[in-house]
Structure 1
Amino acid sequence: MTKEENEARLAHCKSIVLSMPEKPGSYQFYDKDHNIIYVGKAKSLKRRVSSYFHKEVDRYKTKVLVSKIWDISYSVVNTEEDALLLENALIKKYKPKYNVLLKDGKTYPSICVTNEYFPRIFKTRQINKRFGTFFGPYPHISAMYAVLDIIHRVYKPRTCRTVFTKEGIEQGKYKPCLEWHINNCYAPCINKISYEEYQENIRQAREILKGNTREISQKIYDLMMKNASLMKFEVAEELKKRYLLLQDFVTKSEVVSWTISDEDVFSIVDDENKRNAYINYIHVKNGTINQSFTYEYKRKLDETDEDLLMQAIPEIRERFHSTAKEIIVPFEMSWKLKDAVFFIPQRGDKHHLLELSEMNGKQYKFDRLKQAEKLNPEQKQTRLMKELQTKLQLEKLPYQIECFDNSNISGTDAVAGCIVYKGMKPSRKDYRKYNIKTVVGPDDYASMQEVVRRRYNRMIEEKTPLPDLIITDGGKGQMDVVREVVEDELHLHIPIAGLAKDDRHRTNELLFGFPPQTVGIDVKSELFKVLTQIQDEVHRYAITFHRDKRSKHALHSELDDIKGIGPKAKEALLQAFKSVKKIKEAKEEELTKVIGPSKAKILTEHFRKIGK
């Protein structure tokens, strides 16, 4: 696009804005090919749309949108709610490129009540409203099966797919199936239940699916008592069974409060990078939660939480056919709905509902993150590195992390180990073992400085990439002595952190900075678990090396120092004579029988020189 074309495009758009009214409505942006690329709503069309062209847009995504606009149209409505509904309808119809994307629950099952002569009730994932009425979707499969189970136990709707007609039933064309014989169906096909009774059962089942279980339960109880008073005890007994089944089902539902009759609850949770938002919807009917569902919205133009929630509420209420007059939300809403009011609870049962909704949204976000990380394990590692970078305020991502630990017993067999983690995973080929050479006695600080000095001097000489973060297995003291070598002696700028332990020798805090300060990390978090693994790994590595060294010393004998006497000869001698003392006392002829004449002579001369 040339400069002249761009100026002509902007002039055309601004001329449309000047003629727009100060009324609520919906506006549509078109690209060069006259395709709708964005649909918005506004309390004042002129003020809202002019903000795209007459103000400096600071968001990159919005700048991109504005650069694509070649034409504008708008629709004026009477109320704010009409503007919301119109926007929602246009987004559904045109699916504009720059509007937020709703990832709905099409993969979740629903419950269908068919439009047949004798309706069936079953679960399905295919939504076709020509075949019947659909309830759901149900994100919690167990909850859906619980509802289906109570309906089939109480009302026993038919499960066969036979197409029944009134004439066919009157003429006796049909035969009952196994379900009738095992008492799972009332067999309307052979008139064991009348058409009117069957339809009444289906009507009550619909009420249960809507969440009106308590009302149906009370009606059944009243009918049971009425039949009992008329001495129709068989009918009353059948109604009693239904009533008890419904009561058992109701007690297992989550009761919020008897005073809450019909309420919608909405909450919104953002992911870490603010690209996606998770909106949870809870519906409460007669004090019981009968719907809980979470939608994922993908931001396109850095929309605010209020923008997303305001777009989601009418759409979700329409999907679930909600007519609740009060909507619980987490913050003030600048928009209003015609048939409902927004309410922000501060305490009580309604506040508990909001907290429950937020908890469901967070759990959904966590589940989606886990699913993504299973498909792409590197995503989890990158997330943990970014989290550690943020916590420690590091200049770059801590891809390579090195950790040191010493091991000795009263200064003997002193060793140290260095482990390397790359991308939050152990890189065992880069692990290194060190025998302490210059330190005498049990001096952990001096041993640590020797190892760090040797490690990074060599890396500098070999021009090996230096670590992004050093972690010491210890608190402030260890950090200080490592800093003296790394920063003061070698003049390297490598961040140093420390992992301190409590009285029970459990890692309980991460230290960083100069002077070292405790970094706030939840000890139950994934990041803290990885840091604890690093500490446990370096401790295991150092102590294993120390044990190996001690074992070699413990098994060392005088025979190991004799040139010409190898492991096999040593093993044969010890097997034959049992100890070094008896080998010394043995004659050359006896030794020859075990290891041969040449090695027997070497052994005899060695013992003669040292005077046995």
Structure 2
Amino acid sequence: MSKRKADAPAFDGREAAAALPLAPGVYRMFNADGGVLYVGKARALRNRVGSYFNATPKPTRIMAMLAQVARIEVTVTRSEADALLLENQLIKSLAPRYNVMLRDDKSYPFVLVTKEDWPRIAFHRGPRAMPGRYFGPYPSAASVRETLNLMHKLFRLRSCEDSVFRNRSRPCLQHQIGRCSAPCVGLVEVDDYANAVRRAGMFLDGRSGELGDELTASMQAASEALEFEQAARLRDLITTIRKLQARQYVDGRSADLDVLAVAMQGASACVLLLAFRDGRNLGTRAFFPKTNGEDSSAEVMAAFVSQYYAEQPPPSEIVLDRDIPERELIEQALAEHAGRKIELRSNVRGERAAHLDLVTRNAALALATELSSSSAQQARVEALRELLGLAEAPSRIECFDISHTMGEATVASCVVFDAAGPLRNQYRRYNIAVGGSSGIEPGDDYAAMHQALQRRFRPAAEGEPDIVLPDILLIDGGAGQLAQAQAVLQDAGLQGVTLIGVAKGPERKAGAETLLLPDGREVQPGAASPALQMVQQVRDEAHRFAITGHRGKRQKARSTSRLEDIAGIGPRRRGALLRHFGGLTGLKAAAVDDIARVEGINRPLAERIWASLHGLEAGTGH
């Protein structure tokens, strides 16, 4: 707990609250050192902040926080919805000491319908940078794939990458089995395909009733126009959608809802989400928020709902296993943000109650499983502490690994673990320059490791503040690699970092690794050792992360190096070619006439490009 500075005047919370406006906004509480203690939202800032400093008894956690408050800052927002969004952003960026925080280092899966002349429908995970419409999020990758399977059957939209789509000369297997209308070879009209895309969007939006009515009208129009084949296709589509609609009701109402339950044990919490969209059960997903001492299940649930739905589109109905503080405020803010009515319900009956009971039981099970896993992880960390003879269990472990192919595209990886597991947002990759003026020969792993470690620890050696050092530094390699790490740390004047080399056994068999310890000992703990299991977990993650980076770098180099060798191809033309054909594979499959259609590429240059990519001299024929 931070102590108030001796020369700072006592903070008067009532006086500070009285000066605030009766407007919606976000407040931030700071300690005397400037650290953020808490971030909250309010319908009326004066009333909400003032409630902390009245005579009403408060939980021990809140009293401990208030004892540290040295100042309060507020931001007035236009509406409660804006306050909800800003609160979520500040909690993520500031990581306040006393807020419940949603932790989820996995990106959510979506269904993506791209924005282009012939849109494709695809699975998407990661930043939503590609132009198009994103439907979701879905609780699991399996639910996305199930949805995509249905979309292909109903609307026959393409799923192929652009590089494949642009270079097809005949329909693929997807068309032959009735899952794609083959726009790549012109077997569907532009307007018909656009209609299919629009209808797929209606279905994914949960407007299947409206879609069924539209299709019925189109079927009747086709029948009257004597277009019986088209009418028959529409009839089959309507039949399939109506069958789906027959299952899309819960308690007689269209099911577009999430069901949430929270389980808590000590300082640990699990929120389990069961999602229905347009009546389809999309499955469950477990979240484990960081409670920061909060012991109220209702407060944890309120924080989860505010933070999760500030970023993800909420359904029209959210069923909770308990009532939550500021329910009406959160409900109103979510509705304003979504542009439609959002209902938070905790008193339900019938099928909704059955779903809630199922989610409640599974939340408790997921929490028990997580705690069991956490206990095993802590046991491995403790075993590593004992093996190394450390006074305290390590709170930060880093591991470095080098990856390349015969010296090509050398990449160093650094992964970070704490006592609870990987900290993926702190992983780093280092591209290692080899050859030329770099002084590093291709395939020289020692020099590559030395450079990567220098780049990692140079800021600490130069005295930069807030640089966190690892308690344990694992080096994937033998004595040579370990010597590089020792030299770097010694040159940087850094102490307190325990170095361990992880040398593979003669048969490179898991469990036969030799650990090179700081005191010069070489030990083989064996496959059953929890300490070695901890080391293997971190080492394997570093290896995976390095391999992924190396492959990406190698592929990028191979996709551009051939073009860079062609006279007249600069960065702009190279980028235009790769974008137009979706990569080097698509460009290599293109004819000269197709290449010449790219902006900035004339016929003679197109011939040189084609010849170079096929190992020929320009003008030798094609």
TM-score (norm 2): 0.50
Q: What residue number does 2:304 align with?
A: 312
- Which amino acid is the alignment partner of residue 175 of structure 1? S
Contact 1:186 1:193 in 2 (8 A): yes
SS at match of 1:103: coil
Contact 1:278 1:365 in 2 (8 A): no
Q: Report Cα offsets for 1:461-491 as digits up to 9, x if no partner.
A: xxxxxxxxxxxxxxxxxxxxxxxxxxxxxxx
Which of these residues, 164, 176, 190, is aligned with residue 170 of structure 2?
176
Tell me how far apart the structure 2 counterparts of residues 131 and 78 of structure 1 sit (CA, whole Å): 29
Higher relative contact order (CA 8 A, sep 6+): 2
Q: What residue number does 1:275 align with?
A: 268
Q: What residue number does 2:466 align with?
A: none
Q: What residue number does 1:210 align with?
A: 205
1:184 offset after TM fit, Å? Answer: 3.7
Contact 1:108 1:137 in 2 (8 A): yes
The residue correspondences of 1:64-83 to structure 2 (distance < 5 A) are 64-77=64-77, 83=83
SS at match of 1:144: helix
SS at match of 1:139: coil
Which of these residues, 279, 294, 308, is aligned with residue 302 of structure 1?
294
SS at match of 1:307: helix
Select between 205-214 and 217-226 the one with higher mean Cα deviation: 217-226
Contact 2:286 2:366 in 1 (8 A): no
Count of residues in Structure 1 that have an aligned counterpart in Structure 2: 368
Tell me how far apart the structure 1 counterparts of residues 343 and 215 of structure 2 sit (CA, whole Å): 35
Q: What residue number does 1:483 align with?
A: none
Tell me how far apart the structure 2 counterparts of residues 346 and 222 of structure 1 sit (CA, whole Å): 40
Q: What residue number does 2:191 align with?
A: 196
1:28 offset after TM fit, Å? Answer: 0.5
1:70 offset after TM fit, Å? Answer: 3.4
Contact 1:263 1:328 in 2 (8 A): no
1:312 offset after TM fit, Å? Answer: 3.4
Q: Report Cα offsets for 1:347-378 as digits up to 9, x if no partner.
A: 645xx324414522431441343254256459
Q: Report Cα offsets for 1:186-239 as digits up to 9, x if no partner.
A: 221232112221121111112222233343244334423432343322112222
Tell me how far apart the structure 1 counterparts of residues 361 and 9 of structure 2 sit (CA, whole Å): 44
1:316 offset after TM fit, Å? Answer: 3.6
Q: What residue number does 2:101 align with?
A: 101
| Cα distance, 1:229–1:310 mapped onto 2, change above 3 Å | same
Tell me how far apart the structure 2 counterparts of residues 315 and 374 of structure 1 sit (CA, whole Å): 26
- Which amino acid is the alignment partner of residue 312 of structure 1? F
1:42 offset after TM fit, Å? Answer: 3.5
Q: What residue number does 1:185 align with?
A: 180
The residue correspondences of 1:139-538 to structure 2 (distance < 5 A) are 139-162=139-162, 175-179=169-173, 180-181=175-176, 183-251=178-246, 253=247, 255-258=249-252, 260-261=253-254, 264-273=257-266, 275-278=268-271, 280=273, 282-283=275-276, 285=278, 293-302=285-294, 304-322=296-314, 324=316, 327-329=318-320, 330-331=322-323, 334=326, 335-336=328-329, 337-338=331-332, 339=335, 340=341, 342=343, 344=345, 348-349=349-350, 352-374=351-373, 376=375
Contact 2:24 2:43 in 1 (8 A): yes
Tell me how far apart the structure 2 counterparts of residues 272 and 93 of structure 1 sit (CA, whole Å): 27
Tell me how far apart the structure 2 counterparts of residues 315 and 301 of structure 1 sit (CA, whole Å): 18
Q: What residue number does 1:5 align with?
A: 5
- Which amino acid is the alignment partner of residue 294 of structure 2? D
1:68 offset after TM fit, Å? Answer: 4.4
Contact 2:275 2:281 in 1 (8 A): yes
- Which amino acid is the alignment partner of residue 210 of structure 1? D
Tell me how far apart the structure 2 counterparts of residues 2 and 353 of structure 1 sit (CA, whole Å): 46
Tell me how far apart the structure 1 counterparts of residues 245 and 139 of structure 2 sit (CA, whole Å): 20
| Cα distance, 1:44–1:239 mapped onto 2, change above 3 Å | closer
Select between 369-378 and 195-204 the one with higher mean Cα deviation: 369-378
Structure 2 residue runs without a partner (length 5+) = 336-340, 380-622
Contact 1:150 1:249 in 2 (8 A): no
| Cα distance, 1:331–1:62 mapped onto 2, change above 3 Å | closer
Contact 1:255 1:288 in 2 (8 A): no
| Cα distance, 1:103–1:115 mapped onto 2, change above 3 Å | same
Q: What residue number does 1:465 align with?
A: none
1:247 offset after TM fit, Å? Answer: 4.1
1:275 offset after TM fit, Å? Answer: 3.3
| Cα distance, 1:76–1:354 mapped onto 2, change above 3 Å | farther
Tell me how far apart the structure 2 counterparts of residues 157 and 284 of structure 1 sit (CA, whole Å): 21
1:307 offset after TM fit, Å? Answer: 3.3
| Cα distance, 1:60–1:202 mapped onto 2, change above 3 Å | same
1:100 offset after TM fit, Å? Answer: 1.2
Tell me how far apart the structure 1 counterparts of residues 198 and 282 of structure 2 sit (CA, whole Å): 18
1:311 offset after TM fit, Å? Answer: 3.5
Contact 2:43 2:80 in 1 (8 A): yes
Structure 1 residue runs without a partner (length 5+) = 381-612
Contact 1:268 1:280 in 2 (8 A): yes
| Cα distance, 1:358–1:141 mapped onto 2, change above 3 Å | farther
Tell me how far apart the structure 2 counterparts of residues 254 and 262 of structure 1 sit (CA, whole Å): 6
- Which amino acid is the alignment partner of residue 161 of structure 2? R
1:133 offset after TM fit, Å? Answer: 2.3
| Cα distance, 1:83–1:305 mapped onto 2, change above 3 Å | farther
| Cα distance, 1:94–1:333 mapped onto 2, change above 3 Å | closer
Tell me how far apart the structure 2 counterparts of residues 36 and 194 of structure 1 sit (CA, whole Å): 58
Contact 2:301 2:324 in 1 (8 A): no
1:300 offset after TM fit, Å? Answer: 1.8
Q: What residue number does 2:613 align with?
A: none
Q: What residue number does 2:482 align with?
A: none
Tell me how far apart the structure 2 counterparts of residues 78 and 161 of structure 1 sit (CA, whole Å): 43
TM-score (norm 1): 0.51
Q: Report Cα offsets for 1:10-45 as digits up to 9, x if no partner.
A: 337665345334555321022445353420134554
The residue correspondences of 1:540-551 to structure 2 (distance < 5 A) are none
| Cα distance, 1:214–1:152 mapped onto 2, change above 3 Å | same
Contact 2:274 2:282 in 1 (8 A): no
The residue correspondences of 1:6-155 to structure 2 (distance < 5 A) are 6=6, 8-11=8-11, 16-21=16-21, 24-46=24-46, 48-50=48-50, 52=52, 59-77=59-77, 83-104=83-104, 106-155=106-155
| Cα distance, 1:103–1:162 mapped onto 2, change above 3 Å | same
- Which amino acid is the alignment partner of residue 39 of structure 1? V
1:150 offset after TM fit, Å? Answer: 1.3
| Cα distance, 1:272–1:107 mapped onto 2, change above 3 Å | same
Q: Report Cα offsets for 1:397-423 as digits up to 9, x if no partner.
A: xxxxxxxxxxxxxxxxxxxxxxxxxxx
| Cα distance, 1:174–1:268 mapped onto 2, change above 3 Å | closer
Contact 2:261 2:271 in 1 (8 A): yes
SS at match of 1:110: strand
Q: What residue number does 1:538 align with?
A: none
Contact 1:157 1:185 in 2 (8 A): yes
Select between 265-274 and 229-238 the one with higher mean Cα deviation: 265-274
SS at match of 1:8: coil
Among all aligned residue pairs of Structure 1 and Structure 2, give the percentage whose two residues are the same amino acid: 22
Tell me how far apart the structure 1 counterparts of residues 270 and 373 of structure 2 sit (CA, whole Å): 21
Contact 1:28 1:36 in 2 (8 A): yes
RMSD: 4.0
